[in-house]
Amino acid sequence: MTTILALPETSRRILPRPSAALIWSALVLAVAYVAVPLFASRYVIEALLLPFLALSLAAVGLNLLTGYAGQLSLGSAAFMAVGAFAAYNFNLRLGFLPLPVSFVLAGLTAALVGVVFGLPSLRLRGFYLAVSTLAAQFFVQWALSKFGWFSNNNPSGVISVPKLQLAGFSLDTPTGRYLFSLTIVTLLSFFVWRLTRSASGRAFLAVRDGETAAKAIGVPVPQTKLLAFAVSSFVIGVAGALWAFTYLRTVEPAGFNLDRSFQILFMIIIGGLATIRGAFLGAAFIVVFPLLLARAGAFLLGGIFDSGVLDMTQRIVIGALVILFLIAEPKGLAALFDRIGARLSATAARLIGSSSPSPRS
């Protein structure tokens, strides 16, 4: 310990930053893969982690489009719905396909729909684009409830998804569903992370920061925008399939309404635009935090107020917190955590520095 601490300033600073990020990711993954299946209760997995994973992935997808490429979209829930219903239909009608293949095909279907609804982005920007993506929201919901074929002519429009199976193994337990979900979310997040550090990723940022400038340095703006729509919708589509297959295990078009689109948009705004972590932090804040608050409220005050009053109070508390967070750090929770982390490590370094014998003395 002391020898490391005694190293000269410069050699400590050489440690490259990405490796710190890698260590953190590895740590989180180790906890997620080992500790959670061992210790988490069924409630934690079924009611907290499964929706958290699916919506985090959707937020990762939207962040690629909105955070990195600067295209504001209100159609996320529609692309989730496309993914969910496509996965269901591929699974139903082409039963020989293994589950991951249906998921990839579902993602591709969503990507296709995403590109179609991304076309207006070639002409429209900002709020105008947001309004045109609303069309996706309304059209998809309408089409899914209008044509019975999508839900296999189920009278009420609700589909019950089949049990999860992979290569003959049943994944129909909370832990099985969780690990399946976690693996897909990890792979896709890693893919998105790599993408943002590739030439295409830099093209996204260039388009976001100034279309004219991007064009001037030779970025193919229309292709870049459509690529962003395609990849983003792919990821969101798979998220929709996860939402349906692992979490709800039943789907109806109304579950993918405008509220859900806004929810995902708020996740990336609160979590932090153009960061992968931000999507997860935002999802945690929007999905998990209200439930913790509700439970705390019910535990402390459940005897005094009925559940309606508690629910209203909870909304007020969350609204106030959102405002507070955004005032404290407009760049979102990811930046806020960075700042807290930096301050903590500075304090820690100072404490260690003052308590351990200084090499100079």
Binding site for another protein (CB under 8 A): 42-43, 46-47, 51, 145, 155-158, 160, 162-163, 247-250, 252, 254-255, 291, 294-295, 298, 306-312
- 10 or 156: CB nearest another protein: 156
Helix 50-62 vs helix 276-283: angle between axes, to the nearest 10 degrees?
140
- 112 or 294: CB nearest another protein: 294
State in angstroms the smallest separation of the CB of 57 from another protein. Answer: 16
Tokens (6 digits) for 186: 């990890």
State in angstroms the smallest separation of the CB of 250 from another protein. Answer: 5
In terms of Cβ atoms closer than 10 Å to its own Cβ (0-12, 13-18, 19+), residue 71 is buried
- 117 or 247: CB nearest another protein: 247
- 215 or 249: CB nearest another protein: 249
- 120 or 290: CB nearest another protein: 290
Backbone angles phi, psi at 162, to 5 degrees: -70, 165
| Distance of alpha carbon 61 from alpha carbon 130, whole angstroms | 16
DSSP string, 246-315: IIISEE-GGGGSHHHHHHHHHHHHHH-TT-HHHHHHHHIIIIIHHHHHHHHHHHHHTTTS-HHHHHHHHH
Backbone angles phi, psi at 95, to 5 degrees: -60, -20
State in angstroms the smallest separation of the CB of 4 from another protein. Answer: 36
State in angstroms the smallest separation of the CB of 89 from another protein. Answer: 14
Whether 80 contacts 58, CB under 8 Å: yes
Cβ-proximal residues to 173 (8 Å cutoff; 6+ apart), any chain: none
State in angstroms the smallest separation of the CB of 64 from another protein. Answer: 24
State in angstroms the smallest separation of the CB of 174 from another protein. Answer: 9
State in angstroms the smallest separation of the CB of 164 from another protein. Answer: 12
- 49 or 104: CB nearest another protein: 49
Tokens (6 digits) for 309: 């009053």
Q: Is 185 left (phi over 0), alpha (psi -120 to 50) or beta?
A: alpha
- 50 or 238: CB nearest another protein: 50
